[in-house]
Amino acid sequence: MLPIFVVNNHGQFNHLIHRKLRDMEIEVKMVPNTTPPSEVADGCRGIILGGGPSLERAGNCAEYLDLGLPVLGICLGLHIIATARGGAVGPGSHGGYGGVCVRIAQESEILAGYPEQIRVWASHADEVKAVPAGFSVYAVSEICPVEAMGRPEERLYGVQWHPEVSHTENGDLVFRNFERICGL
């Protein structure tokens, strides 16, 4: 079975994403964000766009969205999806990492199995300010109107928070749901 690629966008938690999937016995491989799209298309069954410092350092990530593979964006990965599909990202009113209570606003494949509210660990230095056309908002919080969004027709999903850290309630579930989506 082909692995899920974790795309390294120079963020401090990308190695934790890789380790989390490995510990969950999900076949995984980390690749740099400069990997040619053709190699990504032929080498994996799904893509996780990890976090990082800025959209300017996102390499080829926007091109990976057009490969027809499932994509899960985490933090900066969410911002890459939003901007590449015509949305907007801007500074959040609450920067830095911390705990946030997120409310599930709409049922979705990526958040299946979560209760109505979950406690997550997130950075809101930047956040989605305008959702791209055709995308739905799946989760919100008091400090951020787009904590999660997706477009199942393209199998593109993103979360503002970090499911790979222990501070996030049941973060494994996002990865299990994504693994299932990658098998469809």
Domains by residue range for the chain, with CATH: 4-183 (3.40.50.880)
Name the 3-class secondary structure at 67.
coil
Known catalytic residue at 147? no
pLDDT at 89: 97
Q: Is it the case that residue 31 has pLDDT exceeding 90? A: yes
Helix, strand, coil shares of the chain, percent, nearest 5, are 25, 35, 40
**What is the average per-residue pLDDT within 135-140?**
98
Q: Is it the case that residue 94 has pLDDT exceeding 80? A: no
153/134 Cα distance (integer angstroms): 9
Q: Is it the case that residue 96 has pLDDT exceeding 80? A: no
Mean pLDDT over all residues of the chain? Answer: 95
Are residues 182 and 45 in contact, defined by beta-carbon separation less than 8 angstroms?
yes
Nearest to 85 by CA among 110, 121, 49: 49
| Phi and psi, residue 32, nearest 5° | -70, 155
104/16 Cα distance (integer angstroms): 24
* Residue 45 banded pLDDT, cuts 50, 70, 90: very high
Known catalytic residue at 75? yes
Q: Which of 164, 169, 179, 182 is catalytic?
A: 164
83/55 Cα distance (integer angstroms): 9
Q: Which of 18, 44, 61, 75 is catalytic?
A: 75
pLDDT at 11: 86
Q: Which of 18, 79, 124, 162 is catalytic?
A: 162
Nearest to 29 by CA among 42, 47, 11: 47
Q: Is it the case that residue 44 has pLDDT exceeding 90? A: yes
- Distance from the Cα of residue 79 to its chain's centroid: 9
